[in-house]
Structure 1
Amino acid sequence: MRIIQCLHDGAARAALVEDDNRVRLTEADTYTLARRAIAAGRPLAEVVEAALTETRLDYGQLIDERRLLPPLTHDDPAHCLVTGTGLTHLGSADTRASMHAKAQADESELTDSMRMFKLGVEGGKPATGETGAQPEWFYKGDGDCVVAPEAPMPVPAFAEDAGEEPELAGLYVIGDDGQPWRVGYAIGNEFSDHVTERFNYLWLAHSKLRHCSFGPELLIGELPDHLEGTSRIVRDGETLWEKPFLTGEANMAHTVANLEHHHFKYPGFRRPGDIHVHFFGTATLSFADGVQTRDGDRFEIDLPAFGRTLRNPLAFEDVAADTPVHSL
């Protein structure tokens, strides 16, 4: 089952994707339906089915009218935490072989990134009931950093780069008892400043404090083990860059369960009522091929199992915000 979220009569409403051109509205937003499922102890898919109305909407018209929303939102953006993990994907066969060869080098010759990757390869997929290797983790922001599908992706004036990161994102709601519940999965564009990160890896935290997008559709149910997608950049109506990417656990050094464990093990991430958007990492970047994006370029991330393509144009800001600190 795949659902979207859209504006209808001024309010957020979830809708079931019936086909490429039509969605069927429900009586509530995704967050409300998820909370309803948790309280009733029922699968979310059943709750969505029970909440369907007879109203059907044109999918393309929702896009044209800019009524698409991220597929999971919270009324208070401060109660949405956006985070992610890196160095989780094995990449293509050639890249994998190269990485494995480097991983056999003497420990003293390995970069911190390669050590982290090697740790995941060796211990990122533990047996059931066991704890696996801890992955890299980063913070992106709260719900205010999330951009709706089709909406412009802001690039701050101080940014050194504006690069896509095609990823899967896990979407979660925390129950009243502090139990995390996975609502589903979505295509994500984690979006980073790779020039800043490349200058010094200790600036990774700065490079991640950018906007992001996910959706438009939320996949409810099991995640396919192997997924093949395409990431592209469109400039002035023409494809500037395009490359396939692989994801799903068959192409990852970590299990999703291991990534989830090392995120939600922290009590602060189990605050009742919060939602979490957690990016699972990527192995494909246009930046690695020397692409420099500019204002108006459009990112397109396509993963057929997730329905419609995630698209966002870039909007470069010309002036940096003046943020002096005043003494009280």
Structure 2
Amino acid sequence: MATRLLQHRAADGARSVILARGESAVFLDGVQTVRELALAAIAAGQTMAQAAAARASDKTVDIAAELAAGTLLPAIDHDDKARVLLTGTGLTHLGSAEGRDKMHRDAAQAEKQTDSMRMFLEGLAGGKPAPGAEGQQPEWFYKGDGTQLVGPGEALTMPAFAKDGGEEPELAGIYLIGEDGTPYRLGLALANEFSDHVTERHNYLWLAHSKLRQAALGAELLLGTPPADIRGTSSLERGGQTIWEKPFLSGEDNMSHSLANLEHHHFKYDLFRRPGDIHVHFFGTATLSFSDGISTQEGDTFTIAAAPFALPLRNTLARAAASPALAAVTVL
């Protein structure tokens, strides 16, 4: 029975945390946010599930109804959005190199092995090291801080200058850095690691630019050891009709890297172990509508669903208004 945590905000702004087991769910007593619960769990030497169970009330809640009502927040947040870091790793899933390799090979009009394929094959060979050994480091990218994180039902807004706004159905690891610098994995969440694939396709060195976009996080935080085989569906709706739908796979059985290896190569940097920070780290995907020739449009709706998460992650594509022209930088 999958155990999940959800963050709830009532109409009056009051915050609370929900504990869901299977199809049943109750509110927790004494905590308002998942981060607050995590800090209490660390202080008490408990797991997240133990800390939540100790605070379970008898007040039941229908999480599907709350999702429909728009009262569920992203699985994690922070009062200071600058303390939330959004990062990710690519070419981590079996099959993930195919679309990327084609994109970059077409752009280069070359027959030689691309850097994307080389990196994927290196990860395939060394991305799951034995316990205690160091494996191959993955591709890594930065997406932004907590200002770029949106929740279920919110719009995913691409900048006015964006060439594309494309979905990436993924799992994201949610971490809190303890007071001694220890990274604690709180759980996993469904995510849409929204990117600009047209910009990336133009030149692989623009990958960093293509990733500086918003990202969506599902409402449920899956606790404990995640399933090794997670199967879901990613779909795209336009005008009330599904125009694209495809299964996606995640979990270590379907990955070329272990979670431990991805975590090691992220948290080996001192700057990512600053006490009190929250990290949302996207683990990658092998399934993109862009790879199947789909060009998204404003108003399209992305839906990502996968067991053991009970709720889908749905977001509609929007485009930001053009900003005033940037004035020349003033030299002081």
Residue matched to 2:285: 282
Per the alignment, do residues 33 and 21 of structure 1 end up closer, same or farther by CA in structure 2, a change over 3 Å counting?
closer
Distance in 1 (CA, whole Å) between partners of 2:90 and 2:73 is 26
Cα contact 1:84–1:137 (8 A) shared by 2: yes
The one-letter code matched in structure 1 to 2:59 is T
Q: Deviation of residue 14 (structure 1)?
A: 1.5
Distance in 1 (CA, whole Å) between partners of 2:187 and 2:148 is 20
The one-letter code matched in structure 2 to 1:89 is H
Cα contact 2:26–2:57 (8 A) shared by 1: no
Q: Deviation of residue 322 (structure 1)?
A: 3.8
The one-letter code matched in structure 2 to 1:218 is L
Q: Deviation of residue 15 (structure 1)?
A: 0.6
Give the superposed CA RMSD.
Answer: 2.2
Distance in 2 (CA, whole Å) between partners of 1:241 and 1:297 is 11
Distance in 2 (CA, whole Å) between partners of 1:300 and 1:63 is 14
State the SS of the aligned residue for 2:189: strand
Q: Deviation of residue 64 (structure 1)?
A: 3.6
Distance in 2 (CA, whole Å) between partners of 1:23 and 1:196 is 44
Matched, 1:90 2:129: no
Distance in 1 (CA, whole Å) between partners of 2:66 and 2:158 is 25
Distance in 2 (CA, whole Å) between partners of 1:109 and 1:26 is 59
Matched, 1:267 2:257: no
Distance in 2 (CA, whole Å) between partners of 1:254 and 1:321 is 43
Residue matched to 1:227: 230
**Unaligned residue ranges in structure 2 (runs of 5+):** 106-110
Deviation digits for residues 236-264 of structure 1, max 9, x if unmatched?
Answer: 21111000111111111100000000000
% identity of equivalent residues: 54
Match of 2:127 among 114, 120, 124: 124
Matched, 1:50 2:65: no
Residue matched to 1:39: 43
Residue matched to 2:8: 6
Cα contact 1:158–1:320 (8 A) shared by 2: no
Compare 48-57 and 72-81 and name the one that shifted more.
48-57
The one-letter code matched in structure 2 to 1:133 is Q
Residue matched to 1:105: none
Give runs of aligned pairs for residues 55-134 of structure 1, distance below 5 A.
55-91=59-95, 109-134=112-137
Give runs of aligned pairs for residues 108-257 of structure 1, distance below 5 A.
109-257=112-260
Q: Deviation of residue 294 (structure 1)?
A: 1.0
**Unaligned residue ranges in structure 1 (runs of 5+):** 103-107
Distance in 2 (CA, whole Å) between partners of 1:131 and 1:185 is 23
Deviation digits for residues 6-61 of structure 1, max 9, x if unmatched?
Answer: 11342432211256585434431100000111111111101011122333333244
Deviating 4+ runs (over 4 angstroms): 18-23
State the SS of the aligned residue for 1:305: coil
Cα contact 1:229–1:245 (8 A) shared by 2: yes
Per the alignment, do residues 5 and 321 of structure 1 end up closer, same or farther by CA in structure 2, a change over 3 Å counting?
farther
Q: How many residues align?
A: 319
TM-score (norm. length: structure 2): 0.91
Distance in 1 (CA, whole Å) between partners of 2:91 and 2:98 is 13
